[in-house]
Structure 1
């Protein structure tokens, strides 16, 4: 187990980073501005398949991390593979709580401490904060996002995209991460709704900009969810129960421009000309 100042590390933050030199500084600055976390924190950046200076950028935060009494570890993998990055990061992690953080996400100061506290239990548990979707200036993207925020996925349960966490007993439910597209969905559905905890702290998650990129990323997510349903049908039973969302017609009536943008993206998802075989499909 890793140590911070001779005290066993309680929380490990894993950040997979594939050519994230431009985004990683904002992520790490916000992380290092977090409130104190009992037991200490180790930050593990897994630079995988990078052709930029991601690893060097991460190491540039060594002094700031040490000044907080935390640890920073930078792993470099030759292959660009997020699931492989999770596996490598977990193998190096010493925390009793594992927090999985995307490099383009900005956490609020209370989030890490709240996740660590919520998961300080022997019972298998999963947790995330409240996403604040940041939207660029593109009009279509703004309209699409307005309607997407009203969908059941966003209004019920614990979505967990961009950052999610679990304790060791929760993580013990499966072995290595499988080769799947939607890692966040796989993690979330390995826990029942009652085992998924939402903490009040927020985090900023950026929506991709532009029609074609929205289609690309959302189609990838659809394929990823369908893949899990096909390969792990037992997990689908752990999805949030239906209900508790306003009817589509009412939401469409209240914001027709947003509904139209949402429908346009959904309709385009199945157009062959916009299909992609890129398993990353980050849209940026």
Structure 2
């Protein structure tokens, strides 16, 4: 069997932290297997941490398929929980060059990796992501919350929020050493780059929201806690040009256009602030 990295092409590394992702990991990896040929050689590292389901076995079952397309899949099975540690274990195995960090419940469009590879050319530090598309929701509450959330300035076209998927070139990866023990790893990385250094490619990726009011509240509570933690521990990252302010009158405009969506969104936010987040990873799906 030939080594998929025996030629001179620099592999595009894709790091996927995974904790009990049996319901999602197969679709995530199959979407990578469906990437167009111009995606080039990929090194996909699934960094499983403290999994108690079939995540590892399901990921390993795709190994031969990646080899057949001239790429490689590596699966780390570690008993120590925690997403930052899982990211760091995978980072330690990655070669120099462009790399993406992908949540296990995200499915990329077939042209995503080629677009990210093209955007992350060597040279100036760059951060890149795709066009975040909220996956179709089963519950009315989640659909309304998602519609309002997508209307916020943070998700404006070209804003490159990077939730669930972000990528950097080698110069961009040099902006930080290792992932600290923080909740908001995506915001931690994104804030290392100015708006002019962020690229949002046109290719979409599906990002699911938690289903139902209680799950939305739990995850929102943790997101809020993650941002507060980041502000407290890394205040230097919050420069004025990094802030995405709401346009004057936005709430009034949303009230006129999306009154029920706004009511759901505000109810989730208020409920999330009623009590602080507890420890541990929270997905709510």
Q: Work out whether the TM-score is over 0.5.
A: yes
Q: CA separation in 1, counterparts of 2:93 and 2:41?
A: 16
The residue matched to 1:113 in structure 2 has which SS?
helix
Q: CA separation in 2, counterparts of 1:95 and 1:85?
A: 18
Stretches of structure 2 lacking an aligned partner (at least 5 in a row): none
The residue matched to 2:73 in structure 1 has which SS?
strand
Tell me if 1:255 matches 2:254.
no
- CA 39–23 in structure 1, closer or farther in 2 if over 3 Å, else same: closer
TM-score normalized with structure 2 length: 0.93
Q: For residue 243 of structure 1, report the CA deviation from its aligned partner.
A: 5.9
Q: For residue 6 of structure 1, report the CA deviation from its aligned partner.
A: 3.5
- CA 245–48 in structure 1, closer or farther in 2 if over 3 Å, else same: farther
Q: CA separation in 2, counterparts of 1:149 and 1:245?
A: 17
**Poorly superposed stretches of 4+, deviation over 6 Å:** none
Given that 1:12 and 1:44 are in contact with CA atoms closer than 8 Å, whether structure 2 keeps it comes out as yes
- CA 147–243 in structure 1, closer or farther in 2 if over 3 Å, else same: closer
Stretches of structure 1 lacking an aligned partner (at least 5 in a row): none
Tell me if 1:267 matches 2:253.
no
1:202 to 181, 201, 204: 204
TM-score normalized with structure 1 length: 0.94
Match of 2:233 in 1: 231
Given that 2:84 and 2:181 are in contact with CA atoms closer than 8 Å, whether structure 1 keeps it comes out as yes
Q: CA separation in 2, counterparts of 1:135 and 1:195?
A: 31
Match of 1:145 in 2: 146
Match of 2:101 in 1: 100
1:206-255 deviation digits (Å, cap 9, x = unpaired): 01101111011011111111111111111111524536686210111111
Q: CA separation in 2, counterparts of 1:109 and 1:245?
A: 38
Match of 1:189 in 2: 191
Q: How large is the Cα RMSD of the aligned pairs?
A: 1.7
